[in-house]
Structure 1
């Protein structure tokens, strides 16, 4: 499953990148984000692995992030592994006009593990896109208030 989302942010690209590139800001725009743990490699650079923790209701969710590309503002890409699924996410930033930043992301789910995740992806693919768009919209609000 592959899809893309975007949002236009009323802020210069330099400010957007500064806020995006700070892991401490994830809690400001990603619902349920709890913490980040660097595991290996040079933090924030291609090849680095980190563990991201989220809470959704009573469930604790753990993702392993492997940075694939970091060439901001052009691209920040990562692979995300969970016990039930794997995906890649490419984030790109551009400035279509002065003071406006377009944040585009392309997600590709490469693997679903288990019956329920496969069923959810088959029956409700729009649910995945809706969550990503929600986070982009929340990032826009965070940046514009900062």
Structure 2
């Protein structure tokens, strides 16, 4: 099952460090973003930490807030949001490691 949210606005709230060139090995990169759509607000906090040679730990924390009808449906859709987040992370991993562009993939 595919679940699609139409995004009206996405803003990078924080990217730390601001300059991603020459980051010391023991640094943690933080990315915070907000997505606002009709009936929904989402904040995502991403942390990237080097855990070894050619290995990075990516932790993604997502917070959702709903209004209107979505507020009533959201408790029943918790698994859909988790699955969608996991798929986005797998897609990004494929892009970062193999250069795979999921927009070119066939359904």
Bigger RCO (CA 8 Å, 6+ sep): 1
The answer to whether the 8 Å contact 2:12/2:33 transfers is: yes
What's the TM-score once normalised by structure 1's chain length? Answer: 0.54
2:43 aligned residue:
88
Task: Show CA shifts across 1:45-69 (max 9, x none).
Answer: xxxxxxxxxxx5xxx8233122221
Q: For 1:61, what is the secondary structure of its paired residue?
A: coil
Measured on the aligned residues, the alpha-carbon RMSD in Å equals 2.0
Instruction: Choose between structure 1 and 2: higher strand proportion.
Output: 1
> Match of 1:114?
68
| Among candidates 16, 35, 38, match of residue 71 of structure 1 | 16
1:97 alignment partner, one of 47, 52, 72: 52
- Give the Cα separation in 1 of the matches to 2:93 and 2:39: 29
Whether the aligned pair in 1 keeps the contact of 2:13 and 2:32 (CA below 8 Å) is yes
Shift of 1:119: 2.9
Structure 1 residue ranges without an equivalent (≥5): 1-30, 32-55
- Mapped partners of 1:141, 1:124: distance in 2: 26
Q: Decide which structure has the larger Cα Rg and report it.
A: 2
Q: Where in structure 2 are there 5+ consecutive unaligned residues?
A: 18-27, 100-107
Measured after TM superposition, the shift of residue 79 of structure 1 is: 1.4
Q: Please list every run of at least 4 consecutive aligned residues from structure 1 whose deviation after the TM superposition is greater than 4 angstroms.
A: none
